[in-house]
Amino acid sequence: MLLLTAVSLVFRRPFLAFAGPYLEGIPPQRTAKLTVALGAALGFLVTISSVGAGALGVTALLLLYPRLPTAVIVGSDIAHAVPLTLVAGLGHWWLGSVNWPLLLSLLCGSLPGIVLGSHIATRVPDMVLRMTLASVLSVVGARLVF
């Protein structure tokens, strides 16, 4: 899924040129229903695997909302991921499957990274942001495959 997301980021414009008339022809009510279905699928995938919100969400949102800038798609996906992962995390805490020292270490690095990344994402050109995201996703996806 990481590699698929990277490819979708790199080839966003050609894909939208090809599928754009169809995607733009989807009525807003259908887009809303598809977005709700996407949320349900992501909720399930994140809870069972912790993978999904970013990898799948960004790709699907790029398709459902082709006119939105990448920074807005990423921001919306992250804002969605916060309550999603909170609920999933509470479920895992309740089941006793949380390593608290590991969680604390991750938070110590992630919180400053979030602040820095959100400031940079709004100031970087859309193409640079998409290529950076695609590069990171490609490296991580390739490492998981090999």
126 vs 96, higher pLDDT: 96
pLDDT band of 19, cuts 50, 70, 90: confident
In terms of Cβ atoms closer than 10 Å to its own Cβ (0-12, 13-18, 19+), residue 60 is buried
121 near 75, Cβ under 8 Å? Answer: yes
Q: In this prediction, what percent of the chain has a pLDDT beyond 70?
A: 93
What mean pLDDT is reported for the chain? 82
Identity at 117, one-letter amino acid code: G
What would the pLDDT profile of 105-122 be if each residue is shown by its tens digit?
988 998 999 899 888 888
The domain total for the chain is: 1
What would the pLDDT profile of 26-64 be if each residue is shown by its tens digit?
888 998 998 899 888 877 877 776 666 666 777 778 778
DSSP run (H or E) holding 99: none
Residue 55 is predicted with a pLDDT of 66
Look up the domain containing 93 and give its range.
2-145
